[in-house]
Amino acid sequence: MALPNSLNTDVLVIGGGMAGAWAALGAVRAGARVTLVDKGYCGTSGVTATAGPGHWWVPPAEREQAVRQRATNSGGLAEAPWMRRIIETTWEHLPTLARHYRFPVDANGRTIFRALRGPEYMKALRAMLNEAGVTVLDHHPALELLRDDQGRVAGAAGLRRVDQQPWRIGAGAVVLASGGCAFLSKLLGADNNTGDGLLMAAELGAELSGMEFSNFYTVAPACSSMTRAMSYVFARYFDAQGRELDIPAGPGTMPALALALERGPVSCSLDRMPQDLREALPTISPNVMLPFTRHGIDPFRDRFEIVLRGEGTVRGIGGLRVADEACQTTVPGLFVAGDAASRERVAGAVSGGGSINSAWALSSGLWAGAGAARHAKDHGAPRGPLEAAGELTLRSGRATRAAPDDATLTRIVRELQTPMLHPMQILFRHQQALTQASELLEGHWQELQQRAPAEGALRLKARQTAAMVASARWITLAAQTRRESRGMHLRSDLPHTDPAQTHRLSVGGLHKLWIRPHAVVQPVRAAA
């Protein structure tokens, strides 16, 4: 079929954040022609571009200890060999950015590679992609995957936002680097992270894993999206009467803040931040002070109201199950990188935070890109007519109602945000609320199923909504099935860890969901 906007490539990368950019580089280095599509702009899209990713950066002599320490703090679900792999790959490849990123030098003349500033990091990666000859298509969201007459992944189709025209790209292999799903929580930089890749992959039969581990929160000044955690290490919190709250440091912080917020407004003061850091803050993290200065707040003197912004699977764990060392999903030819993938292999049941997730995004990107390039070379270009695999909101065999309008989509998102983002529901999970959430989400799924395909400018919003409903259903089923508390997953009705549940939960399905335990194969004890 000759569409005006169709092209062919060896490897198609969906998503132009940190993982997608590294994936494109990995595929080029393995000899492939590469096209990368991004919903926004490769350089500002995604959660790296507004943050400051510090990588898991460990010198060789300290690696075994770092891996052992993290392995004991992973709820038994991480794998030491995978941790070693991401440390090694990060150590080897992060310095290759030096042509386009000005790494600072410490007092001893040593270059500091570990921590990068997000906007500059993504700008450098974009420059690397240009040098490597990657075709980058900005504002080209993918809506669905294509399969060939053998049922293999064969590319993707989407629309060009500037004129709403469709595009279609045939590819020998696809890397999904579409990020996590933050349910439009207003987590900084996460509006494009709506789980689209998870839905597209599931439509080809891909499995997910670790979806119950989706419980990360970050403090932000109320009304703002500034979820930069750093300054809050100095925070003191107060209730509406001005009494200081007893908020413990460490993993207890968010549950304590959630309970306090349930009772009423909570305000914060950063008055404990030392003077020298206050002065340096704008050149450490230039965006942190923007909400304060623009709203006339002195956060070191004034008390300002705060909220918690949920991260869904972003600094959660869950995503597409990584089935082999090249980060192939359970669908041949479909690879996954970064937050779209389950990070259980490197982080287990406990958030990989910024550093492990960054090392994972870089490493899984390079591996997935190289793996996709090999797959495309071995299997050649897709043959025969290509079929678009998307269902919900794109084509529907059993539509009985009109296409969804803007208000309907907005309502569905607002309703699912309660079980997916409300801190009391996520940090204090229990069976009754999970059952209610499950019923609500089934209703959303059925409603979208009954609707005719979305039209015009609403196609993207409808597809994002479907992806969020799908992600929420997998999360809820996994949270119901894991009848214990482990790592991030906290059940107020089942507060203990059950040794018999030291396994992962694979989940999948669209109209009918399924879930099953998946054993973690640990190497001989000596290494772990």
Partner 1 sequence: MIALLLEERCTHCQRCVQICPALVFDARADAPPLLARPDDCQTCFACELYCQADALYVDPSVFERVKVNADTVRASGLLGVYRRDSGWDEWADDPRYANQHWRMEEVFARGRELARDGAGGAVGTVGAVGATQAKA
User: Minimum distance between the CB of residue 221 and partner 1, rounded to whole angstroms?
Assistant: 8
Residue 267 binds partner 1 (CB under 8 A): no
DSSP state of 451: B
- Sequential DSSP letters for 384-428: S--EE---TTT--TT--BPPP-HHHHHHHHHHHHHHHH-HHHHHT
User: Minimum distance between the CB of residue 443 and partner 1, rounded to whole angstroms?
Assistant: 26
The pair of three-digit structure tokens given for residue 409, joined into one six-digit string: 């989509």
Give the C-alpha separation, 142 to 151, whole Å: 19
User: Minimum distance between the CB of residue 387 and partner 1, rounded to whole angstroms?
Assistant: 29
**Residue nearer to partner 1 on the CB measure, 53 or 390:** 53
Residues of span 208-237 touching partner 1 by CB under 8 A: 221, 223-226, 228-231, 233-234, 236
> Residue from 56, 183, 213, 217 that binds partner 1 (CB under 8 A)?
56
**Residue nearer to partner 1 on the CB measure, 98 or 402:** 98
Residue 50 binds partner 1 (CB under 8 A): yes
Strands, DSSP E only, in 480-523? 503-508, 514-519
First to last CA, the chain: 53
> Residue from 20, 75, 118, 180 that binds partner 1 (CB under 8 A)?
118
Residues of span 390-429 touching partner 1 by CB under 8 A: none
Residue 52 binds partner 1 (CB under 8 A): yes
Residues of span 180-209 touching partner 1 by CB under 8 A: 186, 188-192
Task: Identify whether the C-beta of residue 146 lies closer than 8 Å to the C-beta of residue 170.
Answer: yes
3-state SS, one letter per residue, for 231-248: HHHHCEEECCCCCECCCC
Residue 53's φ and ψ, nearest 5 degrees, are: -65, 120
User: Minimum distance between the CB of residue 51 and partner 1, rounded to whole angstroms?
Assistant: 4
User: Minimum distance between the CB of residue 73 and partner 1, rounded to whole angstroms?
Assistant: 9
The pair of three-digit structure tokens given for residue 393, joined into one six-digit string: 């909101």
Residues of span 464-523 touching partner 1 by CB under 8 A: none
> Residue from 80, 171, 356, 507 that binds partner 1 (CB under 8 A)?
356
Residue 164 binds partner 1 (CB under 8 A): no
User: Minimum distance between the CB of residue 194 and partner 1, rounded to whole angstroms?
Assistant: 12
Residue 152 binds partner 1 (CB under 8 A): no
List all residues 6 or more positions away from 474 whose beta carbon is below 8 Å from its beta carbon: 198, 208, 211, 318, 507, 508, 513
User: Minimum distance between the CB of residue 518 and partner 1, rounded to whole angstroms?
Assistant: 25
How many residues touch partner 1 under the rule CB under 8 A: the total is: 77
Residue 58 binds partner 1 (CB under 8 A): yes
Buried/exposed 173-201: b ≥16 CB within 10 Å, e otherwise: bbbbbbbbbbbbbbbbbbbbbbbbbbbbb
Residues of span 59-78 touching partner 1 by CB under 8 A: 62, 66, 69-70
User: Minimum distance between the CB of residue 128 and partner 1, rounded to whole angstroms?
Assistant: 17
| Parallel, antiparallel or unpaired: strands 34-37 and 6-14 | parallel
State the greatest distance between any 2 C-alpha atoms of the chain, in Å, as a whole number.
Answer: 70
